[in-house]
Structure 1
Amino acid sequence: METKHALSIRNKIVGTLVRRARLQAGMTQSDCAEVLGISTSAFARYERGERGISLPQLEVLAYVLDVPLHALCNEDSEPPGRSADAGALPLDRILQLRTKIIGVQLRKARESVGLSVEDLALALDCPERVVTEYELGRREMSVAELELAARECGLTLDDLIKDDTRPVSEAEREHQVLARVAELSPEVREFVLNPTNDLYLRIGMKLNSLDADTLRRIAETILDITY
């Protein structure tokens, strides 16, 4: 009973974060439901936390809503405004593929710590056949369930989503780059974003890769030339 209650609370948190990001992106429940290939009423249940959304679905939503994936998982994350229109990707295929990949990751993690299907089923408070369907990629697993399963296997949700081969990870990387650029002072940001300064930036990157002795010799040579 405690497991079910904890999963229910987590589903409500994720649903609230999804709703917040959707509203900020100016999209309707119908828009998001169409992307996921589900009914509007089913998507509304996700937002109300009445049903757990899967990680592949969450990844696709993060891409479409133009927010980092963690903005839909972490209560402390603030979703940024949309920076660009999301390009066309075979999202239905991505959902199927990611569901299977996560199933394989889960099975490997379970076996690596010596857990049986029965053990994981007990932890998730579900039948063994459901765990088997999860691992075969035949059944979607809610983020709340996946977090619990990962924890039982000594992992975190981050261990399952840090894979750079995810089809939607490029959009998330762009968000991370933009966030770091935004932290720069206005003067530095203007310099970095000016294409004519590309050569100077490359020189700086090259110098940054050199050891202290090499930098010292370069500095001494410049002083000799100057004076």
Structure 2
Amino acid sequence: MRIEDDHGISDLLRGTESRLCSGFGFTEGPVWIPTDKALLFSDIPGNRMHRWRPGQSEAEVYRAPSGWSNGLTLDAEGNVLACEHGGRRVSRIEYGDSRRSVALAERWDGKALNSPNDLVVHSSGAIFFTDPTYGADTGKTPSQGAEGQTPELDFQGVYRIDPDGALHCVVREGFSQPNGLALARTSPRYISVIRKTRGSGDTTLMMT
């Protein structure tokens, strides 16, 4: 089955599992780059983004350090949008020059974000992202964030960045540790996978 409007990524789906490349700590946030026919992904504890192209047996380092990036996606102009666990921000990166980046969101109510996790772009250009505390320094290795990183906020929320740059907290009550996001094609509503208690394995699919 082909994925609609996938810009060639379904050509990689052969119906059987195969290893494309290896040697990473904990991979997350894969995003297909249609203009380059390449797969970009995060290695959180490695503090790097990698790029893989069909036919290669290894992935090259695309950006290091990456701010312990997790979720990745693209905006309408083809820039890479990244949730940075350790950078505690959502950033926009020029795909052609990964050294060029700007912060789109770093603080809420004067306090640092927890550790932005996943994000999705609405057709309006608005960016929704989740902000759990998975990047906090728990003393365990490998780390998913910066050394000594502790939460400043007393909640884990879901936020929206408007096209004009304004930041809004759209959900903050009734759940903890928001994770993945997806947009419903027939509705402006978004779906977030929520982990109720850290380490319990219990998850809830919530539509807001």
TM-score (norm 2): 0.26
TM-score (norm 1): 0.25
Structure with greater contact order relative to length (CA < 8 Å, sep ≥ 6): 1
* Higher fraction of helix: 1
Highest CA radius of gyration, 1 or 2?
A: 1
